[in-house]
Amino acid sequence: MENNSGFAGTGGNIEIDFFRYTGRFFGLVSNIGYSNIFFSEKAYKSEYDRVLASYGENMVKAGNYHLLKGLLGLILKIPETKNIEVLLVFQAGCAMSIHPSLLVTNSELGVINSVRKDTKWSAMSNTGIKANYWLTEKYGISLNYGLNFTTPGFGDVTSIEQVFSLPVRYQNINVGLVINLK
Protein backbone atom coordinates (compact mmCIF):
# COMPACT_ATOMS: atom_id res chain seq x y z
CA MET A 1 0.00 0.00 0.00
CA GLU A 2 1.60 3.20 -1.17
CA ASN A 3 0.84 6.80 -0.28
CA ASN A 4 -0.37 7.69 -3.79
CA SER A 5 -1.67 4.27 -4.84
CA GLY A 6 -5.14 5.42 -5.83
CA PHE A 7 -8.03 2.97 -5.70
CA ALA A 8 -10.53 5.16 -7.51
CA GLY A 9 -12.06 4.14 -10.79
CA THR A 10 -14.12 6.03 -13.34
CA GLY A 11 -17.37 7.72 -12.46
CA GLY A 12 -20.00 10.26 -13.38
CA ASN A 13 -19.76 14.04 -13.21
CA ILE A 14 -22.23 16.88 -13.70
CA GLU A 15 -21.43 20.60 -13.49
CA ILE A 16 -23.01 23.99 -14.04
CA ASP A 17 -20.79 26.98 -14.85
CA PHE A 18 -21.67 30.67 -14.97
CA PHE A 19 -19.26 32.87 -16.92
CA ARG A 20 -19.19 36.67 -16.78
CA TYR A 21 -16.80 38.36 -19.17
CA THR A 22 -15.18 41.52 -17.74
CA GLY A 23 -13.33 42.41 -20.93
CA ARG A 24 -12.28 40.99 -24.24
CA PHE A 25 -9.76 38.52 -22.77
CA PHE A 26 -10.76 38.14 -19.11
CA GLY A 27 -13.73 37.04 -17.07
CA LEU A 28 -15.05 35.50 -13.88
CA VAL A 29 -16.49 32.03 -13.42
CA SER A 30 -18.51 30.25 -10.76
CA ASN A 31 -19.07 26.51 -10.73
CA ILE A 32 -21.06 23.94 -8.83
CA GLY A 33 -20.50 20.28 -9.54
CA TYR A 34 -21.08 16.76 -8.34
CA SER A 35 -18.86 13.71 -8.97
CA ASN A 36 -19.50 10.06 -8.16
CA ILE A 37 -16.19 8.17 -8.33
CA PHE A 38 -16.26 4.38 -8.20
CA PHE A 39 -13.99 2.55 -5.72
CA SER A 40 -11.91 -0.19 -7.34
CA GLU A 41 -12.51 -3.12 -4.99
CA LYS A 42 -10.50 -5.39 -7.29
CA ALA A 43 -7.34 -3.20 -7.11
CA TYR A 44 -7.73 -2.81 -3.33
CA LYS A 45 -8.15 -6.58 -2.87
CA SER A 46 -5.09 -7.31 -5.02
CA GLU A 47 -2.97 -5.15 -2.69
CA TYR A 48 -4.16 -7.16 0.33
CA ASP A 49 -3.48 -10.38 -1.60
CA ARG A 50 0.05 -9.13 -2.31
CA VAL A 51 0.73 -8.00 1.28
CA LEU A 52 -0.68 -11.13 2.91
CA ALA A 53 1.04 -13.42 0.37
CA SER A 54 -2.00 -15.66 -0.16
CA TYR A 55 -2.63 -16.15 3.57
CA GLY A 56 -6.38 -16.81 3.56
CA GLU A 57 -8.98 -15.43 1.18
CA ASN A 58 -9.52 -11.64 1.21
CA MET A 59 -12.89 -9.98 0.61
CA VAL A 60 -13.42 -6.24 0.05
CA LYS A 61 -16.72 -4.40 0.24
CA ALA A 62 -16.83 -0.65 -0.43
CA GLY A 63 -19.12 2.10 -1.72
CA ASN A 64 -18.30 5.03 -4.01
CA TYR A 65 -16.61 8.39 -3.36
CA HIS A 66 -18.86 11.43 -3.71
CA LEU A 67 -17.74 15.04 -4.13
CA LEU A 68 -19.87 18.18 -4.19
CA LYS A 69 -17.93 21.31 -5.08
CA GLY A 70 -18.45 25.05 -5.29
CA LEU A 71 -15.75 27.13 -6.97
CA LEU A 72 -15.01 30.72 -8.05
CA GLY A 73 -12.29 31.76 -10.45
CA LEU A 74 -10.85 33.60 -13.39
CA ILE A 75 -11.09 33.05 -17.14
CA LEU A 76 -8.46 33.81 -19.75
CA LYS A 77 -10.26 33.95 -23.10
CA ILE A 78 -8.54 33.33 -26.41
CA PRO A 79 -10.31 35.37 -29.15
CA GLU A 80 -13.05 33.56 -31.05
CA THR A 81 -12.14 32.09 -34.43
CA LYS A 82 -14.59 30.38 -36.80
CA ASN A 83 -17.32 30.25 -34.09
CA ILE A 84 -14.93 28.55 -31.62
CA GLU A 85 -13.73 30.19 -28.42
CA VAL A 86 -11.17 28.66 -26.09
CA LEU A 87 -11.09 29.50 -22.38
CA LEU A 88 -8.43 28.77 -19.78
CA VAL A 89 -10.11 28.45 -16.38
CA PHE A 90 -8.51 28.73 -12.91
CA GLN A 91 -10.75 28.19 -9.86
CA ALA A 92 -10.63 27.70 -6.10
CA GLY A 93 -13.32 26.98 -3.54
CA CYS A 94 -14.53 24.23 -1.26
CA ALA A 95 -15.70 20.65 -1.57
CA MET A 96 -17.76 18.27 0.50
CA SER A 97 -16.14 14.85 0.14
CA ILE A 98 -17.83 11.62 1.20
CA HIS A 99 -15.51 8.68 1.84
CA PRO A 100 -17.32 5.36 1.35
CA SER A 101 -17.66 2.73 4.03
CA LEU A 102 -15.01 0.06 3.57
CA LEU A 103 -14.73 -3.45 4.98
CA VAL A 104 -11.86 -5.89 4.36
CA THR A 105 -12.09 -9.40 5.75
CA ASN A 106 -9.74 -12.36 5.58
CA SER A 107 -10.93 -15.97 5.91
CA GLU A 108 -8.16 -16.71 8.47
CA LEU A 109 -7.86 -13.36 10.31
CA GLY A 110 -11.43 -12.00 10.24
CA VAL A 111 -11.89 -8.22 9.84
CA ILE A 112 -8.53 -6.67 8.94
CA ASN A 113 -9.62 -3.17 7.88
CA SER A 114 -12.77 -1.19 8.47
CA VAL A 115 -13.48 2.46 7.64
CA ARG A 116 -16.86 4.02 8.30
CA LYS A 117 -18.57 6.35 5.85
CA ASP A 118 -17.39 9.89 6.63
CA THR A 119 -18.08 13.37 5.26
CA LYS A 120 -15.59 16.25 5.38
CA TRP A 121 -15.26 19.75 3.93
CA SER A 122 -11.96 20.93 2.46
CA ALA A 123 -10.43 23.49 0.11
CA MET A 124 -10.47 22.58 -3.58
CA SER A 125 -8.81 23.83 -6.77
CA ASN A 126 -9.51 23.30 -10.45
CA THR A 127 -7.57 24.13 -13.60
CA GLY A 128 -9.18 23.55 -16.93
CA ILE A 129 -9.65 24.33 -20.57
CA LYS A 130 -13.00 24.82 -22.27
CA ALA A 131 -13.82 25.02 -25.97
CA ASN A 132 -17.18 26.42 -27.04
CA TYR A 133 -18.46 25.97 -30.58
CA TRP A 134 -21.28 28.45 -31.24
CA LEU A 135 -24.06 27.00 -33.42
CA THR A 136 -25.97 30.31 -33.28
CA GLU A 137 -25.46 33.63 -31.45
CA LYS A 138 -27.27 32.17 -28.43
CA TYR A 139 -26.54 28.40 -28.34
CA GLY A 140 -23.43 26.30 -28.63
CA ILE A 141 -21.76 23.04 -27.76
CA SER A 142 -19.10 22.98 -25.07
CA LEU A 143 -16.20 20.57 -24.46
CA ASN A 144 -14.49 20.94 -21.09
CA TYR A 145 -11.46 19.32 -19.44
CA GLY A 146 -10.77 19.96 -15.76
CA LEU A 147 -8.14 18.79 -13.28
CA ASN A 148 -9.43 18.89 -9.68
CA PHE A 149 -7.60 18.61 -6.36
CA THR A 150 -8.69 18.48 -2.72
CA THR A 151 -7.34 16.90 0.48
CA PRO A 152 -10.07 16.10 3.02
CA GLY A 153 -9.15 14.64 6.42
CA PHE A 154 -11.34 11.68 7.33
CA GLY A 155 -11.76 10.06 10.74
CA ASP A 156 -9.94 6.79 11.47
CA VAL A 157 -10.56 5.27 14.90
CA THR A 158 -7.88 2.60 14.32
CA SER A 159 -4.95 5.01 13.95
CA ILE A 160 -2.99 6.96 16.56
CA GLU A 161 -3.76 10.28 14.83
CA GLN A 162 -7.50 9.43 14.61
CA VAL A 163 -7.57 11.04 11.14
CA PHE A 164 -6.09 10.41 7.71
CA SER A 165 -5.65 12.90 4.88
CA LEU A 166 -6.75 11.60 1.52
CA PRO A 167 -5.38 13.47 -1.51
CA VAL A 168 -8.14 13.38 -4.12
CA ARG A 169 -7.04 14.26 -7.63
CA TYR A 170 -9.37 13.58 -10.49
CA GLN A 171 -9.92 14.79 -14.00
CA ASN A 172 -13.18 15.20 -15.77
CA ILE A 173 -14.24 15.60 -19.36
CA ASN A 174 -17.65 17.15 -19.93
CA VAL A 175 -19.65 17.74 -23.08
CA GLY A 176 -22.58 20.07 -22.77
CA LEU A 177 -24.71 22.95 -23.91
CA VAL A 178 -23.60 26.56 -23.64
CA ILE A 179 -26.18 29.37 -23.65
CA ASN A 180 -25.42 33.06 -24.11
CA LEU A 181 -27.73 34.91 -21.66
CA LYS A 182 -27.25 38.38 -23.24
**Contact between residue 47 and residue 74 where contact means Cβ atoms under 8 Å apart:** no
- Under 8 Å CB-to-CB from 51, ≥6 apart: which residues? 1
Which domains are seen in the chain, by residue range? 8-40+65-100+119-179 (2.40.160)
Report the pLDDT value the prediction gives residue 8, as an integer from 0 to 100: 81
Between CA 182 and CA 138 the distance in angstroms is 8
The DSSP code sequence of 140-179 is: EEEEEEEEEEE--EEE-TTSSSSEEE--EEEEEEEEEEEE
Closest by CA to 14, choosing from 180, 129, 179, 176, is 176
AA letter at 37: I
Closest by CA to 71, choosing from 153, 147, 165, 178, is 147
Report the pLDDT value the prediction gives residue 5, as an integer from 0 to 100: 54
Report the pLDDT value the prediction gives residue 1, as an integer from 0 to 100: 41
Report the pLDDT value the prediction gives residue 2, as an integer from 0 to 100: 45
Report the pLDDT value the prediction gives residue 4, as an integer from 0 to 100: 55
Report the pLDDT value the prediction gives residue 73, as an integer from 0 to 100: 98
- pLDDT in tens for each of the 182 residues of the chain? 445 557 888 899 999 999 998 988 999 999 999 999 998 899 889 889 988 987 889 999 999 999 999 999 999 999 889 999 999 999 999 999 999 998 999 999 999 888 889 999 999 999 999 999 999 999 999 999 999 999 998 877 767 787 878 888 889 899 999 999 88
